[in-house]
Structure 1
Amino acid sequence: MSDAVKTEQREHVLEVTLDRPKANAIDLQTSRALGNVFKDFRDNPELRVAIITGAGEKFFCPGWDLKAAAEGDAVDGDYGAGGFGGLQELRGLNKPVIAAVNGICCGGGLEWALSADIILSADHAQFALPEIRSGTVADAASVKLPKRIPYHIAMEMLLTGRWIEAEEAHRWGMVNHLYPSDILMEKAREMADLLASGPPLVYAAIKEIVREAEALTFQDAMNRITKRQFGSVDVLYDSEDQLEGARAFAEKRDPVWKGR
């Protein structure tokens, strides 16, 4: 574990805080530490939801640590499990992740946030993809962002590196909700607790379907679901939780999810 990555477990929720003064940039060591955290989160049946955030109120994450790069960290080095930041290439991560963007979110930091399923933002946060100005490509953002917000807005950000305020990010659908900074984590925890109270096997099925369907036609995706060719769907359809949901509805009571 790196001192730059702080974790705290609250019942079924894992909070992950990136804490690397002054700006919460990610070097290779920190990326590997994050990868280990998210791999453990993925594999621990007691954990159902994760929150990612940055320490302080000024920076969420500016992405790649250019000072570390200047001192020898290779841009194509070993980022660890899950690739850069431990999330965006982690296979089989079928649990919800919430990003609580507490400040400047740019470059690889924005790509890190885009790896989450829900993005909450402080109303003073700012977003950008400034890689163009340093002669490199925002690779993951080039794949993800045009699918998340209007194409022309995404391309403007990628091609010019311009900064947008939190309100504009919200307007284009990049973030789900805006909050004053002093209640951001409170709201993130409320969202996490809501998700943690839900059916984990259904969340797993949703995440796998959404992820795999990106490369499939609608009919091919539906065929794979109905033929139970997604592992998470197959588990869900034979689970105690599937029966519990039906029984709870029939008995007019709240279901008790066991994740099995």
Structure 2
Amino acid sequence: MKEWITGRNPVFEVLRAKRRHAFRLFALRGIRMEGHLPEIVEMAKARKLPIHEVQRFELDKIERNNQGIAIEVSEYPYRPLDDLIKHSQSTGEAPFFLLLDTIQDPQNLGTLLRTAEIMGVHGVIIPSAKSALITPSVVASSSGASEHLLVSQFNLAQAIDRLKGLDIWVYGLDEDERSRTPAQLNLKGGIAIVVGNEGTGLRSLVRKKCDEIMRIPQYGKIDSLNAAVAGSIAIYLARQARG
């Protein structure tokens, strides 16, 4: 299947990552060549893509928030779980994974993917059902970071079993009677962080399989963080602990 990616950063990262087959590029007629646009055009020419100068209404039919640029590409290239594990082992670092337990809001998924890529997460695992998928809107909300990550669709309970078999400690992000703060946990070794659904948190089986439940301490008057913010804080703290 084909899909359109719009926006300067997402289109730039799609071309830079070279993980999708690209078919054609649409650019707004008369657009100023600034920011990433010259590099986008050069990469498109290097890949011998047809480049079409089009009117605003043609881009708006694809996506209204298009920033004057759009690229038609193949659908997102999910990877087998084994590829994520092999990549992690090739880095020379302690394993670092992110598991997303039925995250459903595309903005939250994009934010978590963006944080994961910036913080050097080795791979992201999402369920194959009841979860937001990596659509063009998620690519946009991740600012194209999704294009540089290895993402696998896999049963989370089974994925946790696989990771634990590799001596990776699994931390579920939630709050209950056994939860501890990041400062009370050892985040320096091989770890996987599991972020739960925006409304219901971690599913019971996923929670049971976690080695520890981690909570983000809060000091203000609001009593909760949304999934993307809490997950991003946890990823950052884990990266800091790893040095």
TM range (shorter): under 0.3
Higher relative helix content? 1
Q: Which has the higher contact order (CA 8 A, sep 6+)?
A: 2
TM-score by length of 2: 0.23
TM-score by length of 1: 0.22
